[in-house]
Amino acid sequence: MKILGITGSIGMGKSTACQLLRCLGVPVHDADATVHRLYQQGGAAVPLIAARFPEAVRNGQVDRVALGRMVFGNPAALRVLERIVHPLVQAEERAFLARHRRRRTPVVALDIPLLFESRGQRRCDAVAVVTAHALIQQQRVLARPGMTLDRLRQIRSKQMPDSEKRRRADYIVPSGLGRGVTIRALKRILADLNRPG
């Protein structure tokens, strides 16, 4: 089984590329979706976060906005949160990989927003970065509820620059040039990964 790491900065089209991979028959483990599940009522992260950030848990689930206010700009609090959440996400990822190894799935993808920053490329056979022009990125991000240019700048400052991600990646998946361009890039990657040897 080949493991393809998928990454990209905020607003680059990573989620769309992962949806297209699913349409092409590739199972995708989505780290962000896993966190969302862990934060919901009954999620494994809820009691652990409640113990450290009680004001962030309401009605039995994590209030992401409240939690974000507590950790954004507070490196010590962010490290505490990461020590809670990362092992849970990694456990789900390991279960996903084990399940697909048993099924002999030829290629799976790991959708990891901070793949290089977290050294996640070590777990992958290849890495694809989804990228778009900076103006397209800005337009997409500013269309999100509650997003401002200042907040986008803060997020960008915490992420590896897109140029560095592209330099480190095995594959580049263009976004913002039409779905057809993105699909063709993904199909080329899958053909490479499925090649014997």
- How confident is the model over 52-85, as pLDDT tens digits? 999 999 999 999 989 988 998 888 999 999 999 9
Tokens of 107: 């290629």
**Report field, pTM of the whole predicted structure over 0.85:** yes
Query: Does some domain include residue 57?
Result: yes
Question: Mean of the per-residue pLDDT values for the chain?
Answer: 93
Q: Is 25 left (phi over 0), alpha (psi -120 to 50) or beta?
A: left
pLDDT at 156 over 90: no
User: Is 14 among the annotated ligand-binding positions?
Assistant: yes
Backbone φ and ψ of 174, nearest 5°: -75, 140
- CATH number for 11: 3.40.50.300
Query: Does some domain include residue 46?
Result: yes
Q: Which residues form the domain of 50?
A: 2-191
Tokens of 12: 């680059």
Query: Does some domain include residue 197?
Result: no
Query: Does some domain include residue 63?
Result: yes
Q: Is 65 exposed, middle or buried (0-12, 13-18, 19+ CB in 10 A)?
A: exposed
User: Is 13 among the annotated ligand-binding positions?
Assistant: yes
pLDDT at 197 over 70: no
pLDDT confidence of residue 73: 80
Please name the residue ranges forming H helices in 72-168.
75-102, 134-142, 149-158, 162-168
User: Is 9 among the annotated ligand-binding positions?
Assistant: no
Query: Does some domain include residue 196?
Result: no
Choice between 29 and 114, residue whose per-residue pLDDT is larger: 29
Q: Are 2 and 107 in contact (CB under 8 A)?
A: yes
**Residues 131, 60: Cα–Cα separation, whole Å:** 37
User: H or E segment at 191?
Assistant: helix 179-194
Q: Are 190 and 127 in contact (CB under 8 A)?
A: no
Q: Are 4 and 126 in contact (CB under 8 A)?
A: yes
pLDDT confidence of residue 146: 80
pLDDT confidence of residue 196: 80
Mean pLDDT value across residues 21-41: 95
Tokens of 53: 């950030």
The band of 153, judged by pLDDT with boundaries at 50, 70 and 90, is confident
Domains in the chain, number: 1
User: Is 1 among the annotated ligand-binding positions?
Assistant: no
Amino acid sitting at position 55: E
Query: Does some domain include residue 147?
Result: yes
pLDDT at 126 over 90: yes
